Amino acid sequence: MEGSRQIDDRSAARQRADAIYEEIRNRICTNRYPPETALHEVELATEFSVSRTPMRRVLSMLEHDDLVTARHGVGTIVTAVEPERLVEVYTVRMILAQAAGDYFRLPFPPESIQRLLEVREVFLGLDEGDVIGFGDANLQYYLPVIDLIENGCLREMHRTLFYQTTRMWLLSLPTMPWAETMAAVADELEELVRVIKLEDPIGLGLVMRNHIFMSRRRVLAGLGIAPGDPRNPV
Partner DNA sequence: ACTGGCATAGATGTGCACAACATAGTGGCT
Partner DNA sequence: AGCCACTATGTTGTGCACATCTATGCCAGT
List 16, 26, 32, 61, residue binding its own copies (CB under 8 A): 61
Which of 52/197 has CB closer to DNA? 52
Q: Of DNA, its own copies, none, which one does residue 228 interact with (CB within 5 to 8 Å by kind)? A: none
Q: Exposure string (b/e) for 91-105, b if CB count within 10 Å is 16 or more?
A: ebbbebbbebbebbe
Among 23, 37, 48, 70, binds its own copies (CB under 8 A): 70
The CA distance from 214 to 92, in Å, is: 14
Alpha carbons 56 and 59: distance in angstroms, whole number: 5
If one asks whether residue 6 binds its own copies (CB under 8 A), the answer comes out as: no
Q: How many residues interact with its own copies (rule CB under 8 A)? A: 27
- Exactly one of 12, 106, 153, 234 binds DNA (CB under 7 A); that residue is 12
As measured in angstroms, the least distance from the Cβ of 52 to DNA is 6
Regarding beta strands 68-71 and 38-39, do their DSSP bridges make them parallel or antiparallel, or are they unpaired? unpaired
Which window, 40-48, 81-89, 97-105, 147-155, contacts DNA (CB under 7 A)?
A: 40-48
By CB under 8 A, is residue 153 in contact with its own copies?
Answer: yes
Cα(first)–Cα(last) distance of the chain, in Å? 57
Q: Is 81 helix (H, G, I), strand (E, B) or coil?
A: coil
Rounded to a whole number of angstroms, the minimum distance from the CB of residue 162 to DNA is: 26
**Contact between residue 127 and residue 173 where contact means Cβ atoms under 8 Å apart:** no
User: Of 139, 140, 141, which Cα lies nearest the Cα of 188?
Assistant: 141
The answer to the question of residue 17 lying near DNA (CB under 7 A) is yes
* 105 Cβ neighbours under 8 A, 6+ residues apart: 148, 149, 150
Stretch that binds DNA, among 64-72, 143-151, 174-182, 206-214 (CB under 7 A): 64-72
- Which stretches of the chain bind DNA, using CB under 7 A? 11-14, 16-17, 38-43, 50-54, 56-57, 70-76
